[in-house]
Structure 1
Amino acid sequence: MAADGVAVLVMAYGGPGSLDDVEPYLLDVRGGRPTAAELVEEITRRYARIGGRSPILERTEAQALALGRVLGPAWPVYVGMRHWHPFIGETVERMVARGERRVVAIVLAPHYSALSVGAYEKRLLDAARGRLDLALVRSWGDHPKFLEAVAERVRRALQRFPVPGAVQVLFTAHSLPERILAAGDPYADELQASAAAVARLAGVGEWRFAYQSAGATPEPWLGPEAGAVMTELAATRKNFLIVPIGFVSDHVEVLYDVDVAYRGLAERLGVRLERTDSLNDDPLLVAALADLARSTATERGWA
């Protein structure tokens, strides 16, 4: 147990560790509902294209390790995944067994939605069953160090182009069902605010925002979709930079949806597409997470 009684739990979506894991992983994502064979085959093909597995666990563990180094040994840092091992529930049992009681929980998704961060919160509360005193960081897309980390990536990426000022910057994030808007969900507004702040910091005058990676369901999802925006602008813009501001590490939505699918679209459109490097365990991101842990613990009177 931490000397000051505070542990940190970082949570991410999770992903299959091998191609054989794809079907059971999708079963968890879909809440136990079977997945159509064609969809399993398609998702398996995507993971095969990016190395045969998801790198999200090792990326999250690297972020947690770096966070632990910044916070110091008095703040044990744990990793829990929403849809694959180590599941949030598995990690909670480890924490309880080790005597942790007060926990700052941070979802590695900077922008709040009831359908995303809210789902992590529910899994955590259900797993804890009152055995942990939990302080959940619900939103942190406005943290200055996060914004500066993304802005630095934008500045670097623009230098790959011969005329940086002529590049169409396109911020993206994971789409969610449109119905969240009727419920007053802050997701879309938080994303727009983060994108605008990064654009100011990076000196980007003209930019667009779009969504990517919509689910395979018949209901409407948030748009515009990034590929549609690229297609719309391709007649007048020949250089694009995608900034996946809704994601903080490499995983299938970045390595396949951007690097394979959107790059393929760019080739068909006759335009150049680059993307910013993922933050992964960037020191500025880690510093932001450390600030969040400390300030949240202080607000609760734990530190």
Structure 2
Amino acid sequence: MPTPPAKPIGVLFMAYGGPESLDEIAGYLSDIRHGRPTTTAVLDEITNNYRMIGGKSPIMGLTKAQIDGAMAHLNPPGEPERFKAYLGMRHWAPWIEETVGQMLDDGIEQAVAIVLAPHFSSMSIAKYQAKVKAGLELYRGDIEFSYVDAYFDADLLIDAFAARVREGIEAFPEEEQDEVHVVLSAHSLPVRILREGDPYQDQLWTTARLIAERAGLREDQWSWSYQSEGRSPEPWLGPQLEDHVPTLQDERGIDKVVSLAIGFVSDHVEILFDIDIEAQKAAKERGMTLVRPPSLNDDPRFVRLIAELVEGQAAEAGWIASDVRAASAGAPTMPMPEGTTSPV
């Protein structure tokens, strides 16, 4: 059995990042665009989007709350400190590379790295992991990192999302709840990822099936959509949420919708603007009622899952005893809803 580590094991929590004020948006967009110039029109549009959700991204505070919740499980009161938490953002401060430098300064020798996003893609999780390696190269140091790649079928994740689905449905009068249609969604990526064999869409659809089953949805009671597609000219995965919602009414007569983003674990502009404003507008223009239940944020099930994933990864690396509960047990899958195209 592994002996307790002489030094705490580092835990590098990573998230996308977001501007803390309207003045930071230009720099934020520049980082996302790898220094390519942003047109005035796009900058004004994005700035207005953030203005409409309160003038900044809430992701920093929410991510810290998630970390605090996970660390309360990882380092119980009165016990020796086994883990030390660090936060790195992909596109804003604190930058992942600089956080890795801080970990080196602190003498961290072993660390678990986990992205606060459940689904792996070469265009998402892999980019975070590349930044960790870039940080080690930049600061010429060595930390043994063990990476949590994905947790899209984790039982606690499915349970938390299914509870949100039920919460959304229960926002309607009891006599109307059987008529409510649930739309599950995630951030779109370019269609080319399918040709490249990227697992992103398969993982998303597995999560969706498990949530629908856990929430007790009929096959015809839910559907899939993407959202927040990028501005590049190449085709992106669809259908887009603001287009899909009106189509539900046109083709199936649905006018009561619960919209839940399952590719995100906390509120940010892709939820507060793209769903609460854009998709909500599309629904209202048709006389439809759209309800968005709360994001996971610091839901107790989610923060416990993150802690269990970290413990499990550290145990797999041989740094702690492997007596932790499995965090990724899923449930049997179910078919995609009628009319949904299978993954390419």
TM-score range, shorter chain: over 0.9
**Quick one: distance in 2 between partners of 1:95 and 1:7?**
7
- Contact preservation (8 Å) 2:89, 2:96: yes
Q: Percent identity?
A: 43
SS of residue matched to 2:69 = helix
- Contact preservation (8 Å) 2:225, 2:240: yes
Aligned match of 1:24 = 27
- List aligned pairs for 1:138-149, cutoff 5 A: 138-149=149-160
Offset from partner CA, 1:71-119 (integer Å, 9 cap, x none)? 0032111111000000101211111111111111111110010001111
Equivalent in 172, 175, 200 of residue 187 of structure 1: 200
Equivalent in 246, 265, 276 of residue 248 of structure 1: 265
Equivalent in 112, 125, 136 of residue 120 of structure 2: 112
Report how far residue 5 of structure 1 moved.
3.8
**In the alignment, structure 1 residue 62 sits paired with structure 2 residue 70:** no
**Quick one: distance in 1 between partners of 2:228 and 2:6?**
42
Structure showing greater Rg? 2
SS of residue matched to 2:145 = strand
Aligned match of 1:288 = 305
**Quick one: distance in 2 between partners of 1:23 and 1:88?**
20
Equivalent in 208, 224, 243 of residue 209 of structure 1: 224
**In the alignment, structure 1 residue 276 sits paired with structure 2 residue 293:** yes
**Superposition RMSD in Å:** 1.1
- List aligned pairs for 1:42-81, cutoff 5 A: 42-72=45-75, 73-81=81-89
Aligned match of 1:155 = 166
- Contact preservation (8 Å) 2:249, 2:255: yes
- Contact preservation (8 Å) 1:82, 1:88: yes
- Contact preservation (8 Å) 2:7, 2:108: no
Aligned match of 2:190 = 177
**Quick one: distance in 1 between partners of 2:82 and 2:6?**
5
Q: How many residues align?
A: 302
Gaps of 5+ in 1: none
**In the alignment, structure 1 residue 124 sits paired with structure 2 residue 132:** yes
- List aligned pairs for 1:230-245, cutoff 5 A: 230-235=245-250, 236-245=253-262
Aligned match of 2:240 = 225
**Quick one: distance in 2 between partners of 1:218 and 1:234?**
29
Aligned match of 2:146 = 135
Offset from partner CA, 1:139-168 (integer Å, 9 cap, x none)? 101110011011111111110012222111
Report how far residue 219 of structure 1 moved.
0.6
Give structure 1 regions of 4+ aligned residues with deviation exceeding 4 angstroms. Answer: none
SS of residue matched to 1:7 = strand
Equivalent in 33, 44, 49 of residue 41 of structure 1: 44
What is the TM-score with the length of structure 1 in the denominator? 0.97
- Contact preservation (8 Å) 1:103, 1:135: yes
- Contact preservation (8 Å) 1:4, 1:302: no
**Quick one: distance in 2 between partners of 1:43 and 1:264?**
17
Offset from partner CA, 1:116-152 (integer Å, 9 cap, x none)? 1111111111112351111111110111001101111
**Quick one: distance in 1 between partners of 2:214 and 2:103?**
39
Report how far residue 3 of structure 1 moved.
4.5
Report how far residue 190 of structure 1 moved.
0.5
Residue type of the alignment partner of 1:116: S
Residue type of the alignment partner of 1:21: E
Gaps of 5+ in 2: 76-80, 321-344
SS of residue matched to 2:294 = coil
Report how far residue 4 of structure 1 moved.
5.0
**Quick one: distance in 2 between partners of 1:106 and 1:182?**
27
**Quick one: distance in 2 between partners of 1:64 and 1:3?**
23
